[in-house]
Structure 1
Amino acid sequence: MTFRHLEIFKAVVETGSFTKAAKKLFITQSAVSHGIHDLEKMTKTPLFDRLSHRVQITRTGELLLQEAEPLLAAGQALSSRLQTLENTASIHIACNITIANFRLPGLLTDFSKEYPHTSVNVDVVPAATAIDHLVTGKADLALIEGAIPQEPFCSKEMGAYLLKVVCSPDYPLQQTELTLDELCRERLLLREPGSAIRDTLESQLYLAGKTVYPLWCSVNDSALLAAAVAGLGIAILPETYVLEELKKQHLVELFVPGLVLKNNMYAIWHRDKYLSKPLKAFIETCSALR
């Protein structure tokens, strides 16, 4: 005998009909009939008299109802309590550095309006580490850019951003348009190997048969931006990150015909991970920001 059996039994008592009980519980009439049949088999006695247009509870059924009602009330109270706990439970996110800089603050602000009592704990880490956190269960969700990892993960696209090739107006260049060969020969300020930004650049260079040997490698976009503004070299950074410096004319954009750099962003979770209501809502918030 299960809690579900008792729920079906009480619904039939309250509605006086298998059909109406099915509608109340949003299940099929067949499921109601099977549930009552199971109960009568377990109690070894009829629980209802089947009349022409309705069912009527028997004396044995009344005794069962008296025993079942406290259990159902306790179950409903427990279900309500568990739902409250689920809605206030924390979410753990492993977030790529670039997404943490530009997308995560706004995303968290929007989410907190719907779930103000759900805390979101964030680890800002490289994409590979974020995936490791999913595998080990340290994170419920990973926000990454670049290639989508293969099984056993599910994903939802969060949009994309462009990368800009920029340098200081004082950087020694004769023109703002460079060939790919000319770009590779310049003093480049790049993200570290393995980062999504670096992978996007190197994949296009690989197809063109080119290789770069950067002057600077950094995990920190801010350091590369500062170095570019100081005239130390050419940086390739997210468009959002350099817009303000371009407006102030602290940087100028360089154009490399044929070089189009764009990174897609994704919310990733393990396919076997239970998605709580707040976690589902957070994933939907991610995709809504596209």
Structure 2
Amino acid sequence: MPIDMPLSPRYAEARVGAIGQFEKLIVPIVRIVKFNPIELIVSLVFVLIIKFLKIKRLLCYTHAMAITDMERRRTRMRPIATRNLSIDLLRTFATIADVGNFTHAAERLGRTQSTISLQIKRLEEMLGRQVFERNAHRISVTAEGETLLAYARQILRLNDEVVSRVSEPDLAGIVRLGTPEDFATMHLSGVLADFARTYPRVALEVTTDLTLNLLERFHGGEFDIVLVKRERLGPLQGTQVWREPLVWAARDRFVVEQNPLPLVVSPHPCVYRKRALSSLDDVCRRWRIVYTSTSLAGAQAAVRAGLGITVLPRAMVPGGLVTLGTDSGLPQLDDTEIALLQAPGTLAKPTRRLAEHIIAALEAQSAYL
């Protein structure tokens, strides 16, 4: 066919289509200026090759997508890996948070300091978070540690409750407990509630009274366990479960300007009353008793009304009252101690369990304060 001969519509369409396919799919083809059968054949061959490569690539892509989809389905079917927190690690963590350092925690847990350090390291690696801020003298719980601590206490409480309920499901009986009213109000409610949940078949008979009355009734056989206030330097009796500073509490600071000093106290015999009068006598400070109340709430109400000043454990000073010390001309007060006494002889199992529970719970509370 002569070169100058005009292209037929059929050849022109084929040529344009071939060139267009080639230009779109691979590389530009040198524009064919005039029709040539050889050029048309070459163009068509290139197009076929490109089509083949394109189909092959599409098949490879489809195969890869199929494999990926299968992997995704397998992943969805595969159970999600969970990280189970160890009760032992949580107990170590909570104990360190309670006592404030590794040494005391190791003593309480009966382990070496290196052992509990490794346990905390394992816990932090498992969570991917730091739970303690460490310095030369004391450690503090981080923000993430505070979150963990709240859950750890719940988990440990449930763990201990489950172990007790399952291992001793038939534990039943009556335990007679005597305690000072102010201490029971402030510190024992949660402790006894936890015990009741753990041992629902054990009935608790709780009586509140002044310490000296409790001791007299205890020695008369009325109680299985008593919690009593005792002097730090007095004869040791029972197991110490609590220690806390005593402070002077009043509505305002002007009360110390009165002479004699007006006192709000419990009736005799009361350890706090005796402590207040003895300390004032030691510094030759005149005093007078203006209000006597058998209840903590009554004494606090009288002080809040401005009738006088009283002696309270620091944690029991309510809002609306101020604490006064030596800078106000008042004598220093010794710390108060609470001791647990158990009836002589062989104790029933429910009594032993309650004593162990109170000692452990109050030790944890006092260490955390």
| Pairwise same-fold verdict (TM > 0.5) | yes
1:206 CA displacement:
4.2
AA aligned to 2:217 is: H
- Is 1:163–1:261's contact at 8 Å kept on the other side of the alignment? yes
* Amino acid in the other structure paired with 1:271: P
Answer yes or no: is 1:254 the counterpart of 2:338. no
Pair 1:195-2:292 in alignment: no
Q: Does residue 134 of structure 1 match 2:218?
A: yes
| Cα deviation code 1:147-170 (max 9, x no counterpart) | 48969xx6111112222222224x
Q: 1:210 to 1:172 in 2, by over 3 A?
A: closer
Tell me, which stretches of 5 or more residues in structure 2 are unaligned? Answer: 1-167, 364-369
Superposition RMSD in Å: 2.8
Counterpart CA distance in 2 for 1:193 and 1:141 is: 23
1:88 to 172, 192, 199: 172
**1:253–1:150 CA distance, 2 compared to 1 (3 A):** closer
Once the two structures are TM-superposed, the CA of residue 239 in structure 1 deviates from its matched residue by: 2.1
The 5-angstrom pairing of residues 34-113 of structure 1 reads 87-113=171-197
Cα separation, partners in 2 of 1:184 and 1:255, compared to 1, 3 Å: farther
Match of 2:261 in 1: 186
**Greater relative contact order, per chain length (Cα 8 Å cut-off, separation 6+):** 1
- Please say if 1:216 is aligned against 2:300: no
Do structure 1's residue 270 and structure 2's residue 340 form an aligned pair?
A: no
Relative to structure 1, is the Cα distance of residues 168 and 277 closer, same or farther in structure 2, using a 3 angstrom cutoff?
same
Give the counterpart of 2:202 among 90, 103, 118: 118
In the alignment, residue 251 of structure 1 is paired with which amino acid?
L
How many residues align structurally? Answer: 191
1 or 2, which has the higher helix percentage? 2
Question: In 2 relative to 1, CA 160–184 (structure 1 residues): closer, same or farther, beyond 3 Å?
Answer: farther
Matched-pair contact (CA < 8 Å) for 2:261–2:288: no
Distance in 2, matches of 1:101 and 1:144, equals 14
CA distance in 2, matches of 1:184, 1:93: 41
The structure 2 residue matched to 1:234, chosen from 282, 286, 309, is 309
Structure 2 partner of 1:31: none
Structure 1 residues 156 and 145, CA gap change in structure 2 (3 angstroms): same
Tell me what 1:43 maps to: none
CA contact (8 A) 1:201 1:261 kept: no
Q: How far is 1:88 from its partner?
A: 0.3
Shift of 1:219: 1.7
Residues 285 and 207 (structure 1), Cα distance of their counterparts in 2 relative to 1, 3 Å cut: farther
Closer, same or farther: CA 214–225 of 1 in aligned 2, 3 Å: same
Structure 2 Cα separation of the partners of residues 231 and 209 of structure 1:
24
Compared with structure 1, are the counterparts of its residues 207 and 200 closer, same or farther at alpha carbon in structure 2 (3 Å cutoff)? same
Structure 2 distance, partners of 1:141, 1:262, is 23
Q: Does the 8 Å contact 2:178/2:207 carry over to 1?
A: yes
Question: Structure 1-normalised TM-score?
Answer: 0.58
CA contact (8 A) 1:110 1:285 kept: no
Q: Taking structure 2 as the reference length, what is the TM-score of the superposition?
A: 0.46
Structure 1 CA distance, aligned partners of 2:359 and 2:281?
31
- Cα-to-partner distance string for 1:133-182 (whole Å, 9 max, x where unaligned): 2222221111111248969xx6111112222222224x745xxxx6xxx6
Deviations 1:6-40 (A, max 9, x none): xxxxxxxxxxxxxxxxxxxxxxxxxxxxxxxxxxx
